[in-house]
Every structure is written in C-alpha cells, then in structure tokens.
Amino acid sequence: MYHPKYSLTPRITKALMAIEASKTAIDLLPVNVEMLQSLRESAKLAATHYSTGIEGNRLSQEEVREVLVYNAKIANRERDETEVRNYYRALDFVEELSGYPTIRETDIQQLHGLAYEGKSMPTGYRDGQNVIRESKSGHIVYMPPEAKDVPALMLELVEWISVETRDQRMPIPIIAAIAHYQFATIHPYFDGNGRTARLLATLILHQNGYGLKGIYSLDKYYADHLQSYYSALTVGHHNYYFGRVDADITGFMEYFCVGMAEAVASVQTQAQQAKPFDHHATLRLLSATQKLALELFRVQAEVKSIDLAEHLQINARAARDLAKNWADQGFLEVANASNRARSYQLGGRYRGLLKEG
C-alpha cells in the first residue's frame, strides 16, 4: 500500500479550517436554479481555460467561451479548439462520475482519453520511458518510473484512494492533494499527465462532498501561481527511484490546500454577491420564433423537432436545423441524444421564463 510522507503544518491546518468554513457557507446559500447553473458553467469554462492554458493552449478566456458556448471557430487555432472541447468533455465526465462512491482505474484512464485524445475510451499506459526536461536548457528535471512499473503503481494508487476516501482518516482535500501529486509522480502517460492529475483531484473532491455545488475551480489558482505549482511538484531527487519515491510532499500539500481555501473563499463571495436573473431582460433578447417556441415548453418539458415543426408550422428539416442551432446557442439543451428519439429541453438560463405570465 502507498504510504505518502508528509506533515500537517499550521498553514495546512489553517487552510483546512478555512475550506470547511467556506464549504458550510456555500452549502447554505439560497442560490436559485438559474444562478446555480450560471455559476457552474462559469466554473467549468474557467477550469477548461486555465487547465489547458497551463499546458500551452493559446485561446483567451473569452475565446474559450465562444468555442464552447457558441461553437465558434477561431482562425488558425484548430488544435487549441480541440483541446478545450476535449477538456470540457472530461469535466462533464467528472460530473457523471461524481455520483459514484469510488474511483476505478478505468475511470482515470477514460479521463485521460477524453482530456488528451478526445476519445471516450480508457487509454493504456505508456510503453516506454519518458523524461521531463527544462524547456530552455533541455536539462532533465524528472525521470519517472520505468514503464514496466507503471501498472502496479497505478493500481496501488487507486487502491489507496479507495481505502482513504472510505475510511476518511485524513481530510478529503489532503487525499485529493496526495492523489494529484502521486499521479504526476508516476507520470503514466507520455503526455496529458498534468491535466489528468488535476481532473483526478477534482473528481475526488466532488465524489466526497467537496464539490461545493460545482461552482468553483482550482485551475485559476494553479495558473496564477504556476511557478510555485511546478516547484511544489518537484521535490526529492530528479529520478523516481533515487529520492522522489520517498520524498516528503508536505510542500505540495500546503500549496494545494492554501490554493483550495483561496478558490472556495473567492467563489463564496461571488455567489453571495450574485443577483437573480432579470427574466424580463432575458425575454427581450429572444427572437419572435423563440418566444413562440417558449409557449410549447409551457405545455411539455421535452420536445422533439417534429413537435417544433408542428408548433411553428415549418417543415421537419427546418425544425431539425432550428433545434440544432438553438442548442448551439444555449436556448435549448439536448435531453435525449439518440438519433431516433432526440429530444430537447429549454436551456437552463431560460427555464425561469416559464414562470413568467
């Protein structure tokens, strides 16, 4: 069984207390559905922007929003667009997995597959040695364990996470921090390890009561304190077998917990200051056709394109195209994604309009 070496410093203890205080405050916030969905979406977009940015993605935060919310195309940024779409899908998978009590090894492999390759399939571990080099000098910063040792080390990590989250002999943020560090240390893939480590930590927090309604992200803190992030991860000798495997990871735990305390305090303030949507202002932004479609949703929660065709008195093909465009814009959301029975519900921001009038 994996046995991490660390100490609970006063700074870590103070951060853990701050996290608990913010967690309690956020859990008690009287946030309405529309506001909660807006805050969650903002958190996911921020996580996508900052986590991929750490790995070199060149899209600005606004461009990430344009790509993910409005399906925009950014000139000469096809690879960057693909990266943010992949990471956003991986965050959706984190939400899906949050309802399960434990993390399986295949879950982590699938997170990597989604985030790095855009494939909803578990990816196999590296089959050769890789090294991390300093970008300017080319000097080796870290040499991970040999490929033949990776499967056993990953199995050991997954078992450790399962036992610790079940028994909770240590605070959940500490477990998430250690899992993040150890995954990066094992470095089981040739690439995509950093973003997968951050997704793994997020999943542990969300599965164990520290999702905080899904309205916060640690990735901005990582990006804002990037050199400290790398320094905290780089402890012990540069070779896994000669120092790194036995390294004291207190420094990274402190970095992680202080960052989480800062992130949740910030989102607590944001949520407390958030104002309910002005439904009348939102209604004024809708087209005449959208306002007409809104009446259909007053009658039924989900509709198919054929329902829209009949209600709007347009042909079936036009209704299918309209529904797709509205889903891209956020006015609609796909409720059933199957080709034969595809149906839509009103987008989260617009559901409150059904209470008007």
pLDDT tens, per residue, the chain with 357 residues: 788 999 999 999 999 999 999 999 888 877 666 677 778 888 999 999 999 999 999 999 999 989 998 888 899 999 999 999 999 999 999 999 998 989 999 999 999 999 999 998 999 999 999 988 877 787 888 999 999 999 999 999 999 999 999 998 999 999 999 999 999 999 999 999 999 999 999 999 999 999 988 888 899 999 999 999 999 988 777 899 988 888 999 999 999 999 999 999 988 887 777 655 556 667 777 888 888 888 888 888 889 999 999 998 899 899 999 999 998 888 898 888 877 888 999 887 787 777 655
Per-residue pLDDT, 294: 87
**pLDDT at res. 340:** 80
Residue 150, pLDDT score: 98
User: What are the structure tokens assigned to 300, written together?
Assistant: 């039924």
Same-domain pairing of 257 and 339 = no
Domain that residue 338 falls in: 279-355
C-beta separation of 294 from 252 below 8 A: no
How many domains are there within the chain? 2
CATH of the domain at 128: 1.10.3290.10
The answer to whether residue 265 sits within a structural domain is yes
Residue 184: per-residue pLDDT: 95
- How many other CB atoms sit within 10 Å of the CB of residue 96? 10
Question: Within a domain: residue 229?
Answer: yes
The answer on 325 and 179 residing in a single domain is: no
The last residue of a domain, from among 273, 290, 318: 273
Q: Flag whether 153 is in a domain.
A: yes
Assign residue 309 the CATH number of its domain.
Answer: 1.10.10.10
Q: What was the pLDDT predicted at 279? A: 62
**Is 194 contained in some domain?**
yes
Q: Residue 133's beta-bridge partner residues?
A: 140
* Co-location of 239 and 322 in the same domain: no
**Could you give the count of Cα atoms lying within 13 Å of 222 in the half-sphere of its Cβ?**
26
The pTM score is 0.77
User: What would the 3-class secondary structure string for 84-122 be?
Assistant: HHHHHHHHHHHHHHCCCCCCCHHHHHHHHHHHHHCCCCC
How many helices (H) and strands (E) are present in the chain, helices listed first? 15, 5
The predicted structure's pLDDT at residue 76: 93
Domain final residue, candidates 212, 239, 273: 273
Residue 135 and residue 232 share a domain: yes
Examine the fold and report which residue of 273, 298, 331 is the final residue of a domain before the chain moves on: 273
